[in-house]
Amino acid sequence: MKKYNKTKIACYLGFITQAITANFVPLLFLTFHREYGISLERLAMISAVFFITQLIVDFLCVKLADRIGYRRSIIIAEVAAGAGLIMLAFLPDILPDRYVGILVSTIIYAVGSGLIEVLCSPIIEACPFENKAGMMSLLHSFYCWGSVAVVLISTIFFNLAGIGRWRIMAVLWALVPLFNVVNFAVCPILPINEEGSEGMKLSKLLKNKLFWLFVVLMICAGACEIAMAQWASTFVESALGVDKTLGDLAGPCLFAVFMGISRVMYSKYGEKWDLTVYMMISGILCLISYLLAALSELSIMGLAGCVLCGFSVGIMWPGSISISSKKLEGAGTALFAFLALAGDCGGAIGPALVGAVSERCADDLKMGILAGTVFPVILIICALILKAGRKKAA
């Protein structure tokens, strides 16, 4: 069992890599605006390109990952993430259009991030650990800690060295995935399906009603998490009366910290708990957090809603993966790829709904957040269906 500790460490660093690729560049948006003269509207497209690239990679992984092999695929992922971050430091200054340089770099490291998202979970799932649900939760907590580290370390570096040296920070962050190439090259990696087993055929998986229930569950998990995370800085700015820069940093940090705490707690004590029931309770807490943020007249309750939401959504993404992989044993890489795709779709739908409703209600963000309660409600219903189905089977 000890030999699989190398696999764990590699996957932990993989999720930290994903956190770097997702959170570093948004810290530089205002710098790009001032240094390169790129409009804020065009800068917003960088996150969209990152997200769309991940969706495409999720979809392609349904077939390609098994053909290429897990080890080769995950090494390609880490190389792409590292290369994209290094390109970010140099390409905008080399190409005639600096914006194009940023976009090309974003696409390269987003390919790496998308592959990591799909591959690390099944790699851990295939390892012979006893408490697999807890291990999955702990794995996903490293995205949270990575997000906090990226924001804090980058901010400290910018304050000490100056924001003008952001290219050095980009190269330093690139060392994490490049170092992890070595880890994945030597650590033991088991196939997700048993030797001699081809696993569930894609056509059979797509016809399985339970699979589509898990897709809906995963969409809601992504929507619950990202919809609130996107507005976390707004709530902190309002609740604490701090300036926008501090609000942008403190909001996402608080959200990520409490999401990480939730995942670590489940990894330590979750073996004694019923995961389906835990998901249901998490959905209820998430619903309460959204209602706190949307309906309370006290600004401090907006902060409380943000913190509670971070804690409540912690188990949703890894929990959905753990339940589905257990219920649909033998589904293989296709299942993990579709779940990642569904989670990312939820991450797009959730914030979009909140934004659209807010705009229709005279830019009232609280009304948008109130509309977002539909996602924890649907998640609770899905968990109830799973619980009822298990009782019926018993």
How far CA 16 is from CA of 11, 22, 86, 102, in Å, comes to: 9, 10, 17, 21
For the cut 90, the answer to whether the pLDDT of residue 87 exceeds it is yes
Q: Region 273-290: what's the mean pLDDT?
A: 91
Q: Region 193-213: what's the mean pLDDT?
A: 72
pLDDT category of residue 60 using cuts at 50, 70 and 90: confident
11-38 residue pLDDT tens = 999 999 999 998 898 888 878 888 888 8
Residue 358, pLDDT score: 80
Between residues 302 and 84, the one the model is more confident about? 84
Between residues 210 and 358, the one the model is more confident about? 210
Long-range pairs, 235-244, Cβ under 8 A, ≥24: 235/293, 235/302, 235/303, 235/305, 235/306, 236/303, 236/306, 238/299, 238/302, 239/299, 239/300, 239/301, 239/302, 239/303, 240/303
pLDDT category of residue 354 using cuts at 50, 70 and 90: confident
Question: In one letter, which amino acid is 286?
Answer: C
Task: Provide CATH 1.20.1250.20 ranges for the chain.
Answer: 1-192, 197-394
Q: Region 99-120: what's the mean pLDDT?
A: 94
How high does pLDDT run on average in the chain? 85
CA atoms within 13 A on the CB side of 344: 26
Q: Region 200-214: what's the mean pLDDT?
A: 83
Residue 68, pLDDT score: 85
Residue 197, pLDDT score: 47
Rounded to whole angstroms, the Cα distance separating 364 from 303 reads 17
Longest dimension (CA), the chain: 66
Full-model pTM:
0.84
Which of 94-108, 212-226, 230-244, 353-367 is predicted least confidently?
230-244
Residue in 368, 322, 312, 285 with CA at minimum distance from that of residue 122: 322
How far CA 103 is from CA of 2, 51, 88, 177, 190, in Å, comes to: 41, 12, 9, 20, 35
Q: Region 178-207: what's the mean pLDDT?
A: 78
96-109 residue pLDDT tens = 999 999 999 999 99
Rounded to whole angstroms, the Cα distance separating 133 from 270 reads 8
Between residues 384 and 388, the one the model is more confident about? 384
3-state secondary structure 15-74: HHHHHHHHHCHHHHHHHHHHHHCCCHHHHHHHHHHHHHHHHHHHHHHHHHHHHHCHHHHH
For the cut 90, the answer to whether the pLDDT of residue 59 exceeds it is no
Please state which CATH number belongs to domain 197-394. 1.20.1250.20
For the cut 50, the answer to whether the pLDDT of residue 195 exceeds it is no
Rounded to whole angstroms, the Cα distance separating 282 from 286 reads 6
The rounded percent of the chain whose pLDDT value lies above 70 is: 90
CA atoms within 13 A on the CB side of 9: 16
Between residues 329 and 259, the one the model is more confident about? 259
**Three-class SS state of 249:** helix
For the cut 60, the answer to whether the pLDDT of residue 89 exceeds it is yes
For the cut 80, the answer to whether the pLDDT of residue 235 exceeds it is no
Residue in 102, 97, 115, 139 with CA at minimum distance from that of residue 24: 102
Residue 196, pLDDT score: 41
Question: In one letter, which amino acid is 161?
Answer: A
What is the CA 53 to chain-centroid distance, rounded? 14
Q: 1-192 has which fold?
A: Growth Hormone; Chain: A; (1.20.1250)
249-273 residue pLDDT tens = 667 788 889 999 999 988 887 777 8
Read off φ and ψ for residue 317, nearest 5 degrees.
Answer: -70, -55
Residue 191, pLDDT score: 78
For the cut 60, the answer to whether the pLDDT of residue 71 exceeds it is yes
Residue 181, pLDDT score: 96
For the cut 70, the answer to whether the pLDDT of residue 236 exceeds it is no
Rounded to whole angstroms, the Cα distance separating 161 from 177 reads 23
